[in-house]
Amino acid sequence: MSNAIITQYHMNWDTETHKFTFHTYGDYLSALDQLGDLKGSLEDLYNHLILTYDTYEKQDTIPKSFRVTGGCSSTHIEETN
* Phi, psi dihedral angles at 62 (to 5 degrees): -65, 135
What was the pLDDT predicted at 46?
A: 94
State yes or no: pLDDT of 1 exceeds 70: no
Q: Where are the domains of the chain?
A: 5-79
Cα separation, 44 vs 57, in Å, equals 22
Mind listing the pLDDT tens digit for each residue in 32-61?
Answer: 999 999 999 999 999 999 998 887 778 788
Instruction: For Cα atoms 22, 24, 27, give the angle at the middle one, nearest 5 degrees.
Output: 160
Are 2 and 26 contacting, i.e. CB atoms less than 8 angstroms apart? yes
- C-beta atoms surrounding 34 within 10 Å: 19
pTM: 0.81
Long-range contacts of 15-20 (CB under 8 A, 24+ apart): none
